[in-house]
């Protein structure tokens, strides 16, 4: 979003706004795809919880729990600290191709942590810097600009850039979790060949939200760099 009146300019309109619109479209698509594929029941009749358990078994993981979470739709996630896969009602108890795809995706994250998947380790290592950058990156850059102290501007923008770096590293993590999910689904026969496409559609739509989030961050970073350079 624009930072005070100083940053509200055409850079935001031509760089960030199109990416924000694309992000909204991606969110609509994932919700629409999920709603559609949630109506397609698996012929095997297994639930999302059972599907996640099969993925864990496939990877030899026996220290991860699968729990019901009272959160809303698409609120499913894997908690690596507690070693718990938390699934919403529509996924935990659901037997649709969407539920199975999402549950297996979250179990794929558990497999990544169990196998020390490199991008996961990288993402976790830069998370503290990313958190700091999200809070103080732009304020530091603003203070540096007002004081005419260019090194402080550079430090602020570098800290802020870690948001985009974090999202860049997150992308292969999410794609790999989906690849693991589809692989186990196919190898174990959890879904019929004609049903796998529906699960893939849900996972692909979800991946688009991470891609657009990265694009928004990159566009905003570029906008800030251009804006500061223009006002020097």
Is pLDDT at 5 greater than 50 in this prediction? Answer: no
Among left, alpha and beta (phi > 0; psi -120 to 50; other), residue 138 is alpha
Quick one: pLDDT band at residue 90, thresholds 50, 70, 90? very high
The answer to whether the beta carbons of residues 163 and 98 sit under 8 Å apart is no
- The overall pTM is greater than 0.75: yes
The answer to whether residue 174 is catalytic is: no
pLDDT band at 7 (very low <50, low <70, confident <90, very high): very low
Average pLDDT, the chain: 91
Q: Output the pLDDT for position 159.
A: 92
What pLDDT digit, counting tens, does each position of 41-61 carry?
Answer: 999 999 999 999 999 999 999
The domains of the chain are located at: 5-230
> Which of the residue ranges 1-10, 46-55, 176-185, 211-220 would you say has the lowest mean pLDDT?
1-10
Contact in structure between 81 and 99 (CB atoms under 8 Å): no
Checking DSSP bridges between strand 84-87 and strand 65-68, what pairing results, if any? Answer: parallel
DSSP state of 78: E
What percent of the chain lies above the pLDDT cut of 70?
A: 95
Type and span of the H or E element at 87? strand 84-87
Set 106, 150, 186, 195: catalytic member? 106
């Amino acid at each position: 979003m624009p930072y005070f009146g100083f940053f509200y300019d055409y850079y935001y309109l031509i760089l960030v706004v199109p990416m924000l619109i694309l992000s909204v479209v991606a969110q609509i698509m994932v919700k629409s795809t999920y709603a559609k594929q949630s109506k397609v029941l698996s012929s095997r009749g297994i639930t999302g919880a059972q599907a996640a358990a099969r993925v864990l078994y496939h990877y030899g993981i026996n220290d991860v729990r699968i729990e019901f979470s009272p959160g809303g739709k698409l609120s499913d996630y894997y908690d690596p600290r507690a070693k718990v896969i938390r699934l919403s009602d529509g996924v935990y108890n659901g037997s649709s191709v969407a539920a199975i795809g999402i549950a297996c995706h979250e179990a794929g994250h558990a497999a990544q942590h169990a196998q020390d998947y490199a991008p996961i380790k990288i993402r976790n290592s830069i998370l503290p810097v990313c958190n700091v950058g999200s809070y103080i990156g732009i304020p530091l850059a603003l203070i540096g600009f007002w004081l005419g102290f260019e090194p402080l501007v550079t430090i602020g923008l570098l800290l802020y850039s870690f948001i985009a770096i974090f999202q860049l590293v997150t992308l292969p993590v999410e794609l790999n979790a989906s690849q693991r999910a589809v692989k186990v689904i196919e190898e174990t026969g959890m879904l019929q060949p004609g049903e796998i496409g529906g699960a893939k559609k849900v996972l692909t739509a979800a991946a688009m939200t991470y891609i657009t989030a990265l694009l928004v961050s990159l566009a905003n970073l570029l906008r800030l760099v251009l804006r500061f350079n223009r006002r020097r």
